[in-house]
Amino acid sequence: MTGDPARRRLFPLACLALVVAATPLVVGCAAVVIGATAGAGTLVAMDRRSAGIRAGDGAIESMVTKEAGNRWASGVHLNVTSYDGKVLLTGEVPTAAIRDEIGQIATSAEYVRAVTNELVIGPETEFGARTQDTYITTKVKTRLIEAGRLDANNVKVVTERSVVYLMGIVSRDEGDAAAQIAAATTDVARVVKMFEYRD
């Protein structure tokens, strides 16, 4: 920088002041991002699954999604969620045969312990319906956190067609509390518990 030496000395201080002033804004943004991530699933730091099982769940989701995508390029809306080797299939498919084939793909995947096939036969849902499902998931997750009746990080929330699926490794009391909170959330049509119980 050229110009007055006094201005050159003040420039770093002015930059530092701007950074300090902006820090609350940055932290606020971080809190929002963390909240959004929590609404979509579980936080890794508090996950009761081991690192190896988490990796296995990710591999299951990727494999099933990729295999189905290779076979059916269009007409299939598939969401694959795996938690501790228990797989949930949601979305829409055009025929019962395709629904069953996707179920078989999931069943044959390595590390899979059980498959719940909730695929619906019918046209794919529109963008607005999927956005509503995402909103419901966020509302349920937020209410779980606010209620303080359980560690919400141990509950994975999946919403499809306004039906809320709850997955995770929990006690029976935690599972019952999560289901009650989810059922009392506006726009939730039904709650399905898919927990693995610790007691």
| pLDDT recorded at residue 45 | 53
The verdict on 141 and 181 lying in the same domain is: yes
- Rounded Cα distance between 178 and 42, Å, is 14
- Residues, the chain, total? 199
Asked if residue 87 lies in contact with residue 65, where contact means CB atoms within 8 angstroms, the answer is no
User: 19-23, 47-51, 106-110, 114-118: lowest mean pLDDT where?
Assistant: 19-23
Q: For the domain that residue 155 is a member of, what is the CATH number?
A: 3.30.1340.30
Quick one: DSSP state of residue 31? H
Structure tokens at 40: 């979509």
Domain end among 73, 89, 124: 124
Compute the distance between CA of residue 87 and CA of residue 89 in angstroms, rounded to an integer: 7
pLDDT at 10 over 90: no
Are 139 and 24 in contact by the 8 Å Cβ rule? The answer is: no
Question: Which two structure tokens, joined as six digits, stand for 196?
Answer: 């693995």
pLDDT (tens digit per residue) in 34-56: 233 333 444 455 688 889 999 99
| pLDDT tens for each residue of 129-163 | 999 999 999 999 999 999 999 999 899 999 999 99
Which pLDDT band, with edges at 50, 70 and 90, does 69 fall under? Answer: very high
Strands 155-160 and 163-170: antiparallel
Show the domain range for 90: 48-124
Q: What is the reported pLDDT for 44? A: 53
